[in-house]
């Protein structure tokens, strides 16, 4: 039983990766016709494995975990209480179910898988594979007219929006992980990882998600620097930062210098030429959220109706902190800061204490989601809770018993 612990953890890591990014691969042409729901299958398997991982023991929790975990638990409790005065009872129930029931499971999954060596390695490999598969599938689908991205006439808004945003996040996470591996590799591994990174960078511009493009740039710039810096290779860290930034500017300039080169690259079009759903709309939604602040909040799921959008759940503030403040008031914001802000501080404090590769890999998985939650998505998104668990996993160690 004890000897099976690494195998169980590795399988949990693969299932966690599938559950985290299931919305992207299952809409790809190759997997769209699966006879079962990939999300439900991964969730069922992971829920069965997490108790087994716990039962094998060897977990050591750092004291810095207390406040973030209390903040997360307080959020779930307070949001249920705030549901009593929500302006829309149906919207409140629709929001509370995924947040309160799925959120704790995803946080626990990130905490356990991120802290276990075998689970974390399997997670990294699975996310890298998913990112490569999704990037290649989107590129091939567009080339053969088999994929329609969000924003195009005739597209199904609910399907295509999920596809391009999650596709971009999957590619961004994979690019960050490959970049971390690149700066630690030698010989043929350097050539392989370098080629793969270039392919993923090209793929990141195809789906058209602005947040994903920003996440890709941030994770590829910063996570190799973290890995090199923690290893004491300060000159190499500075060199990577300078060269990567220069290469990005040169590449962007080359693309934009000729409109024909950028034609059809959805990411470039949305950043520089597509006003639809642009930054102005985000700012308007943030201002609307600020205007409806009340001490105890307007209740979970109340923002769309209070802002005049009806009961459309997709019309949320697109910023976690504002969402917490608007829907759960000052207590909600304080609890959000304890949970997510506390996790960020814990992760930064733990960087010098954990193995550099582990810190950089966790950062590559967390940073894209952290950027996304501040400009898109809401508190019902399971990816945010899984990323929170991964960040907190830096404060957990596991010894094989």
Q: What are phi and psi of 295, to 5 degrees?
A: -55, -45
Give CA–CA dist 220/344, Å, rounded.
19
What is the per-residue pLDDT across 113-141, written as a single tens digit (0 to 9) for each? 999 999 999 999 999 999 999 888 887 77
Q: What is the pLDDT of residue 265?
A: 62
CA distances, 335 to each of 72, 77, 324, 329, 374 (Å):
7, 10, 9, 10, 16
Q: pLDDT value at position 351?
A: 92
Quote the pLDDT of residue 348.
Answer: 95
In Å, how far are 7, 310, 368 from 169, measured between CA atoms? 27, 29, 7
**Dist. CA 378–CA 200, nearest whole Å:** 27
120 neighbors 390 (Cβ within 8 angstroms): no
What value, to the nearest 5°, has the Cα angle with vertex 168 and ends 164 and 174?
150
Q: Are 104 and 384 within 8 A, CB to CB?
A: no
For the record, the structure tokens of 117 come out as 């060596």
Q: What is the pLDDT of residue 161?
A: 40
Neighbours of 41 (CB within 10 A): 16
What is residue 175's predicted lDDT score, i.e. its pLDDT? 95
Please say whether the beta carbons of 17 and 123 come within 8 A: yes
* pLDDT value for 5: 80
Number of residues that make up the chain: 401
Q: What is the pLDDT of residue 350?
A: 94
Q: Looking at residue 87, what is its pLDDT?
A: 79
| Residue 262: per-residue pLDDT | 58
Q: Point out the residues of the chain with pLDDT beneath 70.
A: 1-4, 29, 32, 145-163, 208, 256, 258-280, 308, 310-314, 400-401
pLDDT digits (tens, 9 = 90+) for 308-362: 676 666 677 888 999 999 999 999 999 999 999 999 999 999 999 999 999 999 9
- CA dihedral over 148, 375, 176, 343, signed as positive or negative: negative
């Amino acid at each position: 039983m004890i000897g099976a612990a690494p195998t169980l953890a590795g399988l949990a890591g693969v299932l966690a990766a599938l559950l985290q990014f299931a919305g992207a691969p299952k809409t790809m042409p190759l997997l769209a016709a699966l006879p079962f729901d990939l999300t439900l299958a991964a969730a069922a398997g992971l829920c069965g494995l997490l108790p087994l991982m716990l039962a094998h023991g060897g977990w050591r929790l750092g004291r810095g975990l207390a406040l973030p975990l209390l903040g997360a638990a307080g959020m779930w409790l307070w949001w249920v209480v705030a549901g009593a005065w929500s302006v829309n009872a149906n919207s409140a129930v629709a929001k509370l179910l995924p947040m309160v029931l799925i959120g704790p499971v995803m946080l626990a999954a990130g905490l356990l898988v991120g802290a276990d060596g075998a689970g974390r390695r399997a997670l990294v490999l699975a996310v890298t594979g998913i990112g490569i598969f999704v990037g290649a599938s989107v590129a091939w689908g567009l080339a053969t007219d088999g994929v329609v991205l969000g924003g195009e006439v005739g597209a199904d808004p609910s399907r295509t929006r999920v596809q391009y945003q999650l596709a971009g996040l999957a590619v961004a996470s994979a690019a960050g992980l490959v970049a971390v591996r690149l700066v630690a590799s030698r010989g043929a591994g350097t050539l392989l990882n370098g080629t793969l990174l270039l392919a993923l960078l090209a793929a990141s511009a195809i789906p058209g998600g602005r947040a994903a493009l920003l996440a890709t740039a941030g994770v590829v710039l910063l996570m190799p620097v973290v890995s090199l810096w923690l290893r004491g290779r300060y000159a190499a860290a500075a060199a990577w930062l300078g060269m990567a930034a220069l290469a990005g500017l040169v590449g962007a300039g080359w693309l934009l210098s000729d409109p024909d080169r950028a034609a059809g690259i959805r990411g470039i079009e949305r950043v520089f030429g597509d006003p639809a759903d642009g930054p102005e709309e985000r700012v308007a939604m943030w201002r609307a959220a600020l205007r409806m602040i009340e001490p105890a909040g307007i209740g979970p799921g109340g923002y769309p109706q209070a802002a005049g959008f009806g009961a459309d759940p997709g019309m949320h503030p697109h910023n976690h902190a504002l969402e917490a403040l608007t829907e759960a008031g000052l207590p909600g914001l304080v609890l959000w800061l304890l949970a997510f802000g506390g996790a960020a501080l814990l992760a930064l404090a733990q960087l010098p204490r954990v193995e550099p590769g582990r810190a950089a890999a966790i950062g590559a998985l967390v940073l894209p989601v952290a950027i996304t939650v501040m400009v898109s998505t809401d508190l019902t998104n399971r990816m945010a809770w899984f990323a929170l668990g991964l960040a907190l996993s830096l404060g957990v160690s596991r010894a094989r018993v």
